[in-house]
Amino acid sequence: MLDNNQLLRFTTAGSVDDGKSTLIGRLLYDSKSIFEDQLEAIENTSKQKGHEGVDLALFTDGLRDEREQGITIDVAYRYFTTPKRKFIIADTPGHIQYTRNMVTGASTANAAIILVDARHGVIEQTKRHAFIASLLQIPHIIVCINKMDLVDFKEEAYNKVIGQFEEFSSKLLVKDVRFIPISALLGDNVVNRSENMGWYQGAPLLHTLETMHISSDINKVDARFPVQTVLRPQSEEYRDYRGYAGRVASGVFRKGDEVTILPSGFTSKIKSIDTNDGELEEAFAPMSVSITLEDDIDISRGDMIARSNNKPEPSQDVEAMLCWLHNDSAKPRAKYTIRHTSNEQKAMIKEVIYKIDINTLNRKPEDVEMGMNDICKVKIRTTKPLLVDSYRENRTTGSFILVDENTNETVAAGMIV
C-alpha cells in the first residue's frame, strides 16, 4: 500500500433481500480480505444451516442474536484495503425500524451504496435510504442495481431504475449520484467488469470506490477549530506553554493567521501549530494539532478558534432536522444536554415544526409526536449561544446530539438547517 493512499468510509443500505450482505461478502472476498479461518468458519456454518456452497452473507453476522435470527441488529464496521485505498464499511440494517442505525452509519460516510433489486426497481425503502443519505449529506451516492442476472442483464431494467430514481431524487439534495448494474451473487461489476453487460460503459463498483474524488468532501474553506482541551505541561522546558488541543473541524489554519476566539470575541494571531513531530506551517481538517496564540487569553474546552474574517454565528435559537434515536419519545419542552463540537449546553426542544414521512417525503405539520426513528424539523433553544454553521456547509460544526439528563442516553441526532 502506498503512503499517500486515502481512507474512504462508505455505508451500505439495503435489506437481506437486496443482497447487501452478499455484496459486502463479495467485495471482501474478491479483494482477498477474508482470511482462511474466517472462510472456514463460514463454510461450517453454511453446512450446518444446510446452504449450498459458501454463503458469503454469513460473513457479516456478528452477535449471537444476529446469527440465530439471521438479521443485523446494529451497525457493524468492516475493513478492507486495496493497493489504492483503505476502506471502512459501515454495514447498516435496512429495515424501517433501524433508521437510527442508518443515520449513525451515514454520519461519517464519504459515500453511500444504495442497493436496488433490478426486478422490483425503486421501492419505498430505496427512497428512505436516499433520503437519509441526502439528509446526512453523504457526498457521493452509488446506486447499485443488483440481481441483473435475474433480468437477463438487460439494459432496459437498468435504465428503468435510473429513471425512477432520478424522478424522485430531484427533490433531494444530492451532489453526486452514479448508477452501476451488478450481480453481487455472480460478481458482475463488483470487483471485475461484467462480461454479460457490454452495454455498460462505466466502471465496476470497486474501481469507482477506488478512484472517486474525496479530497473535497471536507469543507476546506471555513476555518473552525473547536478546543478540546488545554495543554499546560508546567515542565522546566515548557514552563509558559499553553497549547489549545483539538482537531481542525474544517478549513485551513496557518501560522500568523488573525483569529477570533468564540464566544468571547477576543482576537489574536496564531503563534505556532504544534505536534509531537514538530511545528507545522499550516493545519487543515481533519488534523489533530495544538495551537498556541500570541496573546494570553482565557480559553477553555468548548471555545472555538476561527479566522477573524470568517466566523460561525453564535446563536441560542437554532432550527434543525432531528432524528430521534431512543425508545422514550421526546418530551415537549423538556431539558436535554446538547453536545455540539466540544461544547456542551442545556437545550430545550421548543417546537416541532413538522415530521417527515420518510416513505413519501411528505411533511406532516400536524404530527408532532417524536418517537424512535422519527425525523422532524424542530426549533431548539440553548442556555448559551452555540457556534454553528449550517449542516449543509459543514458536517462537523453543523451537527449535534441530545442527551437525556435523567438516563444519560443519547436520544437524538441533529443537523442544523
CB of 67 to another protein, least distance (A): 7
Per-residue burial over 347-377, b if 16 or more Cβ lie within 10 Å, else e, is bbbeebebbbebeeeeeeeeebebeebbbbb
* Residue whose CB is less far from another protein, 194 or 399: 399
For the CB of residue 130, give the shortest distance to another protein in the complex, in Å. 19
Site for another protein in 225-244 (CB under 8 A): 228-229, 231-233, 235, 237-238, 241, 243
CA 126, 132, 134: angle at the middle one, nearest 5? 100
Q: Name which of 97 and 216 has its Cβ closer to another protein.
A: 216
> Looking at beta carbons only, is 85 or 377 nearer to another protein?
85
The answer to whether 5 contacts another protein (rule: CB under 8 A) is yes
Rounded to whole angstroms, what are the CA distances from 56 to 27, 36, 39?
Answer: 10, 13, 9
User: Minimum distance from CB of 149 to another protein (Å)?
Assistant: 29
Site string for another protein, 345-374 (x = CB under 8 A): ------------------------------
| Amino acid at site 366 | E
Q: Is 156 helix (H, G, I), strand (E, B) or coil?
A: helix
Cα 177 from chain centroid?
Answer: 16
Using the Cα atoms of residue 119, residue 122, residue 125 and residue 129 in order, give the sign of their dihedral: positive
For position 101 contacting another protein by CB under 8 A, the verdict is yes
Residues 69-88 that bind another protein (CB under 8 A): 73-79, 81, 85-86, 88
Which residue, 19 or 226, has its beta carbon nearer to another protein? 226
Site string for another protein, 116-155 (x = CB under 8 A): ----------------------------------------
Of 214, 142, 221, residue with least CA distance to 396:
221
Q: Please, which of residues 163-202 interact with another protein by CB under 8 A?
A: none
Please report, as residue ranges, which positions from 321 to 340 form the binding site for another protein (by CB under 8 A). Answer: 325, 337, 339-340
162, 191, 252, 353: which one binds another protein (CB under 8 A): 252
- CB nearer to another protein: pick between 180 and 338: 338
How many residues belong to the site for another protein (CB under 8 A)? Answer: 79
Nearest to 111 by CA among 16, 26, 206, 198: 206
Phi, psi (deg, nearest 5) at residue 157: -60, -40
Residue 237 region, left (φ>0) first, then alpha (ψ -120 to 50), else beta?
alpha
Q: Tell me which residues in 31-50 interact with another protein (CB under 8 A).
A: 35-38, 41, 45
Q: Which three cell numbers stand for residue 110?
A: 464519504
